[in-house]
Amino acid sequence: MTIDEFWQQLCEVRGVETPCIRCGGAGVRTYGSTSTWGGGVGGQMMTNAVCDRCWGTGDEHRRGTSFREIERWKAAHDREKSKEKLSN
C-alpha cells in the first residue's frame, strides 16, 4: 500500500469526500508560531492545531464550528453582560 492509498483510506474512514485544501483532510495543520488560528502574539515554535479552514472536519465542503465565531459570540455576550451590570 502506498502512502497516497493509506491517506485516501484515512479520509474515507473520517467521511472526508473532498479533502480540505489547507490541511489535506487531516483536520489539523501546522502553524508557524504558537499563536495558531487565533493570531496575536506567538512564540517561536511550530504548533499543530485545528485547521482554520475546515475547522477540524478535513472536508473542503463540510465545515466544523469556527473557533473564531465562538470567540466573537463570547465577546459580544460578555459586552452585553457588562452593560447590564453597569446599568443596574
Q: Which residues pair with 49 in a beta bridge?
A: 29
**Mean pLDDT of the 17-41 span:** 87
**Does the structure show a pLDDT above 80 at 26?**
yes
**Does the structure show a pLDDT above 80 at 88?**
no
More confident residue, 29 or 38: 29
pLDDT of residue 36: 74
Choose among 43, 21, 20: nearest CA to 31.
43
CA distance 17 to 85: 48
**Mean pLDDT of the 20-44 span:** 85
CB atoms within 10 A of CB 11: 19
pLDDT of residue 59: 97
**Does the structure show a pLDDT above 90 at 37?**
no
pLDDT of residue 4: 92
